[in-house]
Amino acid sequence: MCGIVGLLVKTPALKERLGELMVPMLIGMTERGPDSAGLAVFADPLSEGERKLSLYSGLTEDGADFNWHGLTHGLKAHLDVDAKIDIKHNHAVLAFRAAPEMVKRWLREHHPLLHILSTGRTIDLYKDIGTPAQVADRYDFASIKGSHLVGHTRMATESAVTPDRAHPFTAGEDFCLVHNGSLSNPNGIRRMLQPHGIHFDTDNDTEAACRFLEWRLREGDDLETALQAGFEELDGFFTFLMGTPDKLALIRDPFACKPAVVAENDDYVAIASEFRSLAHLPDIKNAKVFEPAPEEMYVWNA
Amino acid sequence: MERLSFDLASSSLSDMNRFLHTELSADDTRHVTVLNPDGAHNIAVGLNQPVTVDVQGHAGYYAGGMNKHARVVIHGSAGTGVAENMMSGTVHVKGFASNGAGATAHGGLLVIDGDAGLRCGISLKGGDIVVGGSVGSFSGFMAQAGRMVICGNAGDALGDSLYEAVIYLRGEAKSLGADAQFEDMTDADYSALAELLSKAGLDHDPKSFKRIASARSLYHWNADANQEY
């Protein structure tokens, strides 16, 4: 079991309140996922040549005491990259104007235990073990601003409870996915993708789905075509919620084994595994509430 | 008739269910209103008294489950397993219902004004279900006894492996399940259907429905079937 939440706001004023509205959604899914939690938020993009990485130091020897400023000094000294860093304990967002692959290669070489959570121009990603309330508090989720986000609360079934196996998973740039369910053919998907040079960070089944869909997008599929390929190739139980810089997308397996409910009004689209995570939202009593059908694609534009 | 209300925003669901289970019989309360249900699970489960419970909002999983004698009205949608294993009484969902609505119900009547999700009436054991809208795939799977009325359409594999339950369908089924077949409506079907529609407050013409029941070819093991049904 796991919990999924998503929120996309349509009115500019609500962008300021994105995190505040989402935290009760995430905490509402604690019973479905008490072991880890995570969140990816999409905000105004950096300019064309800039990139940002979300980084997690909890797996390094120094943990939350990681020397983040030493890292930016190293980047300057070795690569002549001026990076800005925004630190929250064992997490930092590193922004720079340089080729992201070069920076990531340097990070893997000099800080192999530092976990790269996400890459892109719009996405910030946080995930860690702990209850949703603890994780939300650790990273001050309530203060998060942006146009849309996806969140997850995890009750692990398919791989160990570790920060890197928490959701959301990312692949490529500005793409993330959260999953409630379990896949039966993740190893087949991995064996199919690895010859294409696709590297996996963990043994988690959701990571296979995430990298498969991002690979389809990178190969030129539009989102709908990629999701259709997902229906054909990914076997098992799933409700997937995905985020891109301008979209949220949701699909459910043909048996609708894992729940999802959507509430929509003029101000927002909110998605959760269960209605109890939506009950607090403003004017929810007048929102259109519905259950997304199995094997249908739901895509909302930010 | 005494009326009582529980606001789940400020009081606990367990306290409310405890009242409904243990104190109601010694009390003359016959009407309970539940405010701010907010998707909570297990609202008004296991009732055993002739009481009306009005749930003012969306209910979570298993609302009205195991119901006996009571009338539970949900003025919103219901989560997975509404009226699961109902024995008698009525559960009425004014909105839509999620998966497994009325699963294994032995008796009573479940009315869903909107659509029902997948596996509606799975393993039905004698209860009646009337769905004003459409039902998802695998509805009526292995239903043993009772009746299902579907005013809209049905998904795939309707009535798969049916026993003696009967399904009345007004719209179209994407597909029928193994061993389910369309049959001619009899006078007994028309009168049973008219009664169910009337109880549900629906005025469809019984003549617009088709009957689906078991062909009973799965009742006995056939070693020659090669697992192809």
pLDDT tens readout for residues A206-221: 999 999 999 999 999 9
d(C-alpha A83, C-alpha A168), whole Å: 25
Please indicate, yes or no, if residue B146 is contained in any of the structural domains.
yes
Q: Are B165 and B192 in contact (CB under 8 A)?
A: no
| Counted domains in chain B | 2
A114, A119, A122, A123 alpha-carbon torsion, rounded to 10°: -50
d(C-alpha A34, C-alpha A26), whole Å: 10
Backbone angles phi and psi of A86, in degrees to 5: -120, 110
pLDDT one-digit tens code per residue, A110-157: 999 999 999 999 999 999 999 999 999 999 999 999 999 999 999 999
Residues B120 and B92 in one domain: no
Mutation site for A-interface testing, chosen from B99, B120, B138, B175 by largest number of A Cβ within 10 Å: B99
Residues of A assigned a catalytic role:
2
d(C-alpha B21, C-alpha A301), whole Å: 48
Q: What Å distances lie between residue A217 and A22, A48, A173, B28, B188, CA to CA?
A: 28, 20, 11, 64, 57
Report yes or no: A255 at the B interface, CB cutoff 8 Å: yes
> Which pLDDT score is estimated for B221?
79
Please indicate, yes or no, if residue B28 is contained in any of the structural domains.
yes
The mean pLDDT value for B220-226 works out to 77
Give the H or E element holding residue A70.
Answer: helix A68-79
Contacts of B39 in chain A (CB under 8 A): 274-279
- Nearest residue on chain A to B137, alpha-carbon basis: A255
% residues pLDDT > 70 (chain A) = 100
Report yes or no: A292 at the B interface, CB cutoff 8 Å: no
Which SS3 state, helix, strand or coil, does residue B137 take? coil
Q: Are A301 and A247 in contact (CB under 8 A)?
A: yes
d(C-alpha A4, C-alpha A271), whole Å: 8
Q: Do A275 and B136 touch (CB under 8 A)?
A: no
Report yes or no: A283 at the B interface, CB cutoff 8 Å: no
Residues B205 and B138 in one domain: yes
Mutation site for B-interface testing, chosen from A275, A277, A284, A289 by largest number of B Cβ within 10 Å: A275
Give the H or E element holding residue A170.
Answer: strand A169-170
> Which pLDDT score is estimated for B229?
57
Residue numbers of the domain that contains B68: 1-97
Residues B162 and B87 in one domain: no
Which residues touch A196 (CB under 8 Å, ≥6 apart)?
A: A215
Q: How far is A39 from chain B (nearest CA, A)?
A: 23
Q: Do A276 and B60 touch (CB under 8 A)?
A: yes
Please indicate, yes or no, if residue B106 is contained in any of the structural domains.
no
Helices and strands counted in chain A (H then E): 8, 16
> Which pLDDT score is estimated for A287?
97
Q: What Å distances lie between residue A83 and A52, A76, A103, B32, CA to CA?
A: 9, 8, 10, 62
Contacts of B138 in chain A (CB under 8 A): 255
> Which pLDDT score is estimated for B16?
96
Q: Do A275 and B80 touch (CB under 8 A)?
A: no
CA-nearest of A142, A150, A203, A167 to A36 is A167
Q: Do A289 and B58 touch (CB under 8 A)?
A: yes
> Which pLDDT score is estimated for A76?
98
Which SS3 state, helix, strand or coil, does residue A25 take? helix
CATH topology of domain A49-121: Alpha-Beta Plaits (3.30.70)
- Which of B63, B97, B131 corresponds to the end of one domain? B97
* pLDDT reading at B3 higher than 90: no
The mean pLDDT value for A99-120 works out to 97
pLDDT one-digit tens code per residue, B167-187: 999 999 999 999 999 999 999
Report yes or no: A291 at the B interface, CB cutoff 8 Å: yes
> Which pLDDT score is estimated for A56?
98
Q: Are A176 and A118 in contact (CB under 8 A)?
A: yes
Of B38, B117, B138, the CB nearest to A291: B117
Please indicate, yes or no, if residue B154 is contained in any of the structural domains.
yes
The mean pLDDT value for A21-32 works out to 98
Burial class (CB in 10 A: 0-12, 13-18, 19+), A247: middle
pLDDT one-digit tens code per residue, B57-98: 999 999 999 999 999 999 999 999 999 999 999 999 999 999
| Averaged pLDDT score across all residues of chain A | 97
CA-nearest of B129, B83, B115 to A292 is B115
| Averaged pLDDT score across all residues of chain B | 95
pLDDT one-digit tens code per residue, A150-159: 999 999 998 9
Please indicate, yes or no, if residue B204 is contained in any of the structural domains.
yes
Backbone angles phi and psi of A213, in degrees to 5: -70, -40
Please indicate, yes or no, if residue B85 is contained in any of the structural domains.
yes
Burial class (CB in 10 A: 0-12, 13-18, 19+), A47: exposed
Contacts of A264 in chain B (CB under 8 A): none
pLDDT-derived band of residue B202, with 50, 70 and 90 as boundaries?
Answer: very high
Of B60, B99, B137, the CB nearest to A275: B60
Give the H or E element holding residue A229.
Answer: helix A223-233
Backbone angles phi and psi of A298, in degrees to 5: -120, 120
Please indicate, yes or no, if residue B173 is contained in any of the structural domains.
yes
Please indicate, yes or no, if residue B104 is contained in any of the structural domains.
no
Q: Which neighbouring-strand residues pair with B135?
A: B154
The mean pLDDT value for B110-129 works out to 98
What DSSP assignment string belongs to B89-136?
Answer: SEEEESS-B-TTTTTT--SSEEEESS-B-TTTTTT-EEEEEEESS-B-
Chain A segment 154-183 residues within 8 A of B by beta carbon are none
Residues B126 and B173 in one domain: yes
Q: Do B38 and A276 touch (CB under 8 A)?
A: yes
Of A256, A259, A276, the CB nearest to B136: A256
The two tokens of residue B156 are 């795939």
Fold match, A2-45+131-301 / A49-121: no
Of B76, B79, B137, the CB nearest to A274: B79
Q: Do B117 and A279 touch (CB under 8 A)?
A: no
Burial class (CB in 10 A: 0-12, 13-18, 19+), A112: exposed
Residues B9 and B88 in one domain: yes
> Which pLDDT score is estimated for B1?
58
**For residue A168, is the peptide bond before it cis, meaning its omega torsion is within 30 degrees of 0?**
yes
Say if strands B2-7 and B29-35 run parallel, antiparallel, or are unpaired: parallel
- Say which CATH superfamily domain A2-45+131-301 falls into: Aminohydrolase, N-terminal nucleophile (Ntn) domain (3.60.20.10)
